[in-house]
């Protein structure tokens, strides 16, 4: 088989494209299938290649979910948004790194994000500011209970100590 005929083979093309994409970063099966379909490859070829890559361990939705979730946590996003983003990418398992955090841990993350963005001061007198900060934290993917706990803190509270959120 000559060089030109090898590159015309759809299976060869699917394998090489998928491998190049996986070498850059983890992908979910759905993401990878979409990128291969955008390259006008047939679904039967895509399924064959992705099934093989899953068997080899090169493609793993659980590993993708864990890596993706850790990156989103580091970027300041909460569990609700992270799970929604995973589901958009075709992953419907809750990664262990999300399971490891308690509700209090997530409230602490939300409070740290609030402190970084707005500072910690008492919001009891300023309803519009309290709502603005609550909307920000909710958009970031924190539950209403986590947002409520984060908004209760002010600069006098111990954010990282033994203070009960």
Q: pLDDT tens digit string along 128-155?
A: 999 999 999 999 999 999 999 999 876 5
**Axis-axis angle for helices 29-37, 10-24 (nearest 10):** 130
CA 82, distance to chain mean position in Å, is 4
User: What residue segments make up the domains of the chain, in order of their start?
Assistant: 3-59, 62-99, 103-152
Output the CATH code of domain 3-59. Answer: 1.10.10
- Can you read off the two tokens belonging to residue 82? 């992270």
Q: Where are the beta strands (DSSP E) in 6-86?
A: none
The model's pLDDT over 40-64, given as tens digits with 9 standing for 90+, comes to 999 999 999 999 999 999 999 999 9
CATH class of the domain defined by 103-152 = mainly alpha
The model's pLDDT over 98-135, given as tens digits with 9 standing for 90+, comes to 999 999 999 999 999 999 999 877 777 788 999 999 99
Task: Check pLDDT > 50 for residue 29.
Answer: yes
Mean pLDDT estimate for the chain:
89
More confident residue, 70 or 4: 70
* 3-59 and 103-152: identical CATH topology: yes
């Amino acid at each position: 088989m000559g060089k030109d005929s090898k590159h015309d083979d759809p299976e060869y093309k699917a394998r090489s494209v998928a491998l190049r994409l996986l070498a850059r970063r983890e992908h979910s099966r759905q993401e990878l299938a979409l990128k291969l379909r955008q390259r006008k490859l047939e679904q039967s070829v895509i399924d064959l290649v992705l099934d093989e890559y899953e068997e080899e361990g090169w493609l793993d939705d659980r590993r993708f979910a864990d890596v993706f979730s850790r990156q989103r946590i580091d970027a300041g996003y909460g569990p609700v948004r992270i799970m929604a983003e995973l589901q958009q990418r075709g992953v419907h398992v809750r990664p262990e790194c999300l399971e490891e955090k308690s509700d209090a841990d997530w409230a602490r993350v939300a409070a740290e994000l609030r402190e970084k963005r707005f500072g910690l001061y008492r919001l009891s007198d300023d309803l519009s500011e309290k709502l603005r900060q609550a909307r920000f934290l909710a958009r970031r993917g924190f539950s209403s209970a986590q947002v409520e706990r984060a908004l209760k803190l002010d600069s006098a509270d111990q954010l990282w100590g033994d203070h009960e959120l």
